[in-house]
Amino acid sequence: MEVYVVIVAGGYGKRMGSDTPKQFLLLNGKPILMHTIERFSKALSNPKILLVLPENQFEYWRQLIKQFNFDISHQLVAGGAERFFSVKNALQHIPHNFTGTIAVHDGVRPLVSEQTIINAIDLAQAKGNAIPAIDLTDSIREVENGTSHHRDRTRYKLIQTPQCFNAELLRKAYHQDFCEFFTDDASVVERAGISINLVKGNPENIKITRPIDIQISEALFKNL
Amino acid sequence: MEVYVVIVAGGYGKRMGSDTPKQFLLLNGKPILMHTIERFSKALSNPKILLVLPENQFEYWRQLIKQFNFDISHQLVAGGAERFFSVKNALQHIPHNFTGTIAVHDGVRPLVSEQTIINAIDLAQAKGNAIPAIDLTDSIREVENGTSHHRDRTRYKLIQTPQCFNAELLRKAYHQDFCEFFTDDASVVERAGISINLVKGNPENIKITRPIDIQISEALFKNL
């Protein structure tokens, strides 16, 4: 079944303490974003891949493609000011009569396993949506009015991507107005009144955000 | 100022898919637990270190000490069936007239930075308690009645150790009856009616629980 994959890479590199946006940093000698795209290309048969980048990074990305002889077909889409608007732009580039599954993935999660991708897409095809989640290994506290309270960590899940949705459902959810509360696609879809299904993520599927995440990813890369 | 450090290592190794309890696995060629003890020995001047281990691992630990010529002074304490009872046992081995600070640390967090240790102890000395915490980088959901709800991740903190407390306060809290809800010392002390202070942890300070955590730790070890 045809699947659209929207890979969102909006980073400007500030948090990484680097001039290079994190999606272009090298992991095992190759830009992170290329690893991410390869994961989907390997896990799925002929996925349609949309890569959302800030427009002023298009030229740099095209140079990288030449430099690394990167040959996985994908379409570039201009990013918005917030992740919400980036995904919304990408949805405009998917045929309006497409009724299959759309997977939205963070460009800086190159260590997603094929199993996580397949599990999320399969469940979304069966139930309308699915997102990968993992258990917490640390204790967790909630901060309230200047103090913090212990919470039962078994009640919480850390959320990853790809977040997979029936195309019609996702389009409808993205008709909502933007809200600060939206940090991922599931929060947008839940706000539209839909219950979200969880699948098991893989612990290696970290989001490369902090400088130490590059070192962690290098170590985990050998695992996959 | 004199500080007691209680290092709790109760693992039997089941979760790691290994016969060796995780606290004895090698990190950079040396048992994890030795790295953990060294961190405190380096960060503090002459800390009194109590190491809590299942009693049936004492002999193995003594063999490791010889094998690795490990020479940091510490006292062994027998662990209990739950972390709560392990800490409670350790408190019995601290002089009853000691009124300084007690730091309780997970044996399987060998990558705690000296700065995290010092910050937590300093704040505990000033305010009675302090525990290290870090921000979430993933989205988070709370599971309720078979479904899950998006939560504002800026309201939550992931909790690390060392958790540091005024000795009298900690002793008093550990007079409470055991409760399933207790996953760390802060949860025990909070239950006794005390507000908990957070300090900034270091992101490398992960708890070695899953097989991939060893690989992550090897990579991060070079950082510290």
**How does residue B15 score in pLDDT terms, banded at 50, 70 and 90?**
very low
Residue of B nearest to A144 (CA): B155
| pLDDT for the residue B19 | 74
Q: What is the mean pLDDT of residues B115-122?
A: 98
**Average pLDDT in chain A:** 94
Q: Is the pLDDT of residue A175 over 90?
A: yes
pLDDT 10s digits, B139-184: 999 999 889 999 999 999 999 999 999 999 999 999 999 998 899 9
Residues β-bridged to residue A47:
none
For residue B155, the chain A residues in CB contact (below 8 A) are 142-144
- The Cα A107–Cα A9 span in angstroms is 5
* More reliable by pLDDT, A17 or A49: A49
Per-residue pLDDT at B1: 74
A147 DSSP β-pair partners:
A144
What's the ipTM?
A: 0.93
Contact list in A for residue B159 (CB cut-off 8 A) is: 138-141
Distance from CA of A220 to the nearest CA of B (A): 7
Closest CB to A159: pick one of B141, B144, B198: B141
pLDDT, chain B, mean: 94
The residue-averaged pLDDT of A1-16 equals 78
pLDDT of residue A12: 59
- Measured between alpha carbons, how far is B76 from B96 in angstroms, rounded to an integer? 18
Residue A17 binned pLDDT confidence (cut-offs 50, 70, 90): low
Q: Which tokens is A114 given? A: 């094929």
Of B140, B190, B216, the CB nearest to A216: B216
Residue range A82-108: mean pLDDT, rounded: 97
- φ, ψ (nearest 5 deg) of residue B164: -115, 135
- Decide the pairing of beta strands B147-151 and A147-151: unpaired
- Over residues A100-112, mean pLDDT: 98
Q: Which amino acid is residue B113, in one-letter code?
A: S
Residues of B in Cβ contact (< 8 Å) with A209: 137
Q: What is the Cα A82 distance to its own chain's centre?
A: 14
CA distance B98 to B5: 13
pLDDT tens for A114-140 read 999 999 999 999 999 999 999 999 999
Q: What is the DSSP string of A137-150?
A: -SEEEEEETTEEEE
Give start and end residues of each alpha helix (H) in A83-174.
Answer: 83-92, 114-127, 167-173
User: Could you tell me which residues come within 8 angstroms of residue A198 by beta carbon, excluding any fewer than 6 positions away?
Assistant: A130, A131, A132, A133, A157, B141, B143, B148
pLDDT digits (tens, 9 = 90+) for B60-104: 999 999 999 999 999 999 999 999 999 999 999 999 999 999 999
Min Cα separation A73/chain B (Å): 29
pLDDT over threshold 90, residue B31: yes
pLDDT score of B53: 96
Amino acid letter for position B151: R
Do the Cβ atoms of B141 and A147 come within 8 Å? no
Query: Does the N-terminal peptide bond of residue A203 adopt cis geometry, omega within 30 degrees of 0?
Result: no
**Residue that wins the pLDDT comparison between B44 and A16:** B44
Position A211 confidence tier, pLDDT thresholds 50, 70, 90: confident
pLDDT surpassing 80 at residue A13: no
Which one has a higher pLDDT value, B219 or A171?
Answer: A171
- Chain B contacts of A215, Cβ < 8 Å? 219-220, 222-223
Note the pLDDT of residue B14: 47
